[in-house]
A and B are shown apart, each in its own frame.
Chain A
Amino acid sequence: MIEQVAEPLQQQGFAKVVLELEVNNHPGVMSHICNLFARRAFNVEGILCMPMSDASRSRIWLLVFEDQRLEQMVLQVEKLVDVLSVRRHGAEHEVFERLEKYFH
């Protein structure tokens, strides 16, 4: 959807982190989030987004590397008006693992 605006820094070798975002569900929210990561040259390994049971909100799952810029990245995400909350999980979180069979 969004072109990568800068070559992301080499992140291989860093641990992975799963971010769980709760956001307002309206067109444009995804572009605010993807654009933010892209323009800060921060690679998003995996992304998953579905409306929540209360359809006015969506949940977004992001798989990212935990490099030293992650802290700053999360602070920037939290500033987005449509982002209601951000939670961090370890890579052991099963959300992406269970999807892996669709990517082989």
Chain B
Amino acid sequence: MMQMTGAELIVRLLERQGIRTIAGIPGGAILPLYDALSGSDIIRHVLARHEQGAGFMAQGMARVSGRPEVCFASSGPGATNLVTAIADARLDSIPMVAITGQVPLSMIGTDAFQEVDIYGMTVPITKHNFLVRSAADLLEVIPQAFRIAMSGRPGPVLVDIPKDVQNQIVSFDAYPEPAVPDSMPVPDMAAIESAAKMIDEAERPVLYLGGGVVHSGASRLAVTLAEQAGLPTTMTLMALGTMPIDHPLSIGMLGMHAARYTNFILEESDLLICVGARFDDRAIGKAAQFCPNAQIIHIDIDPAELHKIKTAHVAINGDVATVLEALLPRVKQSLRKRWLSHVDGLKSRFPMAMPGRDDPRTHYGLVHAVAAALDNEAVIATDVGQHQMWVAQAYPFRRPRQWLTSGGLGTMGFGVPAAIGAALSEPDRTVVCFTGDGSFKMNIQELATLAEEGLNVKIVLMNNNSLGLVYQQQNLFYGKRVFASKYRGEPDFLKIAEGFGIAAVDLDSSPNPRATLAQALQSRGPCLIHASISREEFVYPMVPPGAANTEMIGG
């Protein structure tokens, strides 16, 4: 018979689940849990400076490891500060368990100090959530939370734990087993046979890979399928890296900021093989006009994604890796010379224009210079805005989980804490965070966490002193009525970094920016790399809002 408090039980269960690092911020309602955590020799706590930062650190760890990771926050404002990071995890299917303190059970519903209904608030943004009503329930709830977060399509789970439940003594015979993912559905073999037949018979097929390929660990299988069947392959923002960008079959990212040729190839396709993607509006443009002549094979672990936006001719519910494994031996080897040479023709006629790519003082040039100074082992995170899209377009991604970006929610402020999380999880890698001056200021306080942890995170600040993507939209689609998108003041980011105790270099004033950059990237430890970017540089080409993917402007 074992006896301990609810708080101690939580810590033991987290240890047994394999959790080694937790990001969070304490407060009254979660102090029993912090007290118990202080006694753990196994779990390291990383003190964030804002709960949103803690949430994104957990995400960063989960995005590089593929395992559910944990963040802690207190009740009330601590819990509400986590909300954005949870919503972000939901939209990008990131496994995460958020644990919040709550006022004691007897005070719930009395408008007690720092009481908010975080359970109610997170219903629409979690995969599932719990309000724990007794310490004994933790024996079931904690493993369940992990099981749900990592099973099927991954996602965030919130566990709200009242303070008295943390203090309550619980007796039990044995620890529950650590959670493992549910077994995957058995895919429909008849559907797989028809998919194979459709691929063999197609003349102009395209393989369309999404984030599900990353989550399922299926990138090698996807590349094998492409090679075996001669499939030009496009990737969503979330899937960048699943096929190396310089693979001869890669046609790059599709959608709003794709190269023109990519969208033209899709337009001509007669078969679209969608693997672990969800026909998001930024990827497909006007749904009715996306791949107008194509039949669709859709493979996804989430049955609700099948037929949601586009009706599939063959829909296969299953784990992407399992389905691809079953599909591969059934698909004929094909060189598909005619289609692939046509694809190459489109590629050379409508390539991605990258002006200034050899000049590290330009946006594309800077992205290329960073890539040139690193190998494929580096992790690349971004914030949200023009800089994010330039990196997506220009950085040569070559492996899954190399690229961390807020896709579905598009959250400014994601970059720095997610990069910290990545570095916590894989401290030997160089982690680069491309950020914008607007996004950087949204979680800039985490520089203090970064300095304290001394992690190998390099922040490349592409500074146009504006909310560039908004400025671009106003210029292009709102009659050049620029409003609330240019900053009037400009902080001295180098001094800010210095104030936090972080080394900083300025590429603007460097006589040899390439060398300065390379040196900053190669020396260990945190560093801010500042570079001014002209506000008049826009992300091109671009599908205007509401248009079809083939109606691109610019570039």
Q: List residues of chain A with CB under 8 Å of any chain B CB.
A: 27-28, 31-32, 35-36, 39, 71-72, 75-76, 78-81
Contacts and interface: CB of A to CB of B under 8 A. Distances in A.
Nearest to A36: B124
B468 to A, nearest CB: 31
A81 B304 contact: no
Interface of B: 119-120, 123-124, 127-129, 131, 148, 302-304, 307-308
A35 B123 contact: yes
B123 A31 contact: yes
A28 B304 contact: no
B200 to A, nearest CB: 30
Contact of B124 (A27, A35, A79): A35
Contact of B304 (A31, A32, A75): A75
A72 to B, nearest CB: 6
Nearest to B129: A28
B123 A72 contact: no
A38 B127 CA distance: 17
B240 to A, nearest CB: 27
Given A28-B119, A28-B131, A81-B148, A75 B303 contact: yes
B302 A79 contact: yes
Nearest to B131: A28
B106 to A, nearest CB: 15
A72 B124 contact: no
B131 A72 contact: no
A22 to B, nearest CB: 17
Contacts of A39: 124
Q: Which of A35, A76, A78, A81 has the most chain B CB atoms inside 10 A of its CB?
A: A81
A46 B129 CA distance: 26
Residue from B120, B124, B131, B308 with most neighbouring chain A CB atoms (10 Å): B124
A71 B304 CA distance: 9
Contacts of A76: 304
Given A36-B124, A76-B304, A81-B128, 19 more contacts: A27-B131, A28-B129, A28-B131, A31-B120, A31-B123, A32-B123, A35-B123, A35-B124, A39-B124, A71-B307, A72-B304, A72-B308, A75-B304, A78-B304, A79-B303, A79-B304, A80-B128, A81-B127, A81-B148
Nearest to B128: A81
A63 to B, nearest CB: 22
Contacts of A31: 120, 123
Contacts of A27: 131
Contacts of A35: 123-124
A32 to B, nearest CB: 6
Nearest to B120: A31
Contacts of B124: 35-36, 39
Nearest to B153: A79
Nearest to B302: A79
A80 B304 CA distance: 12
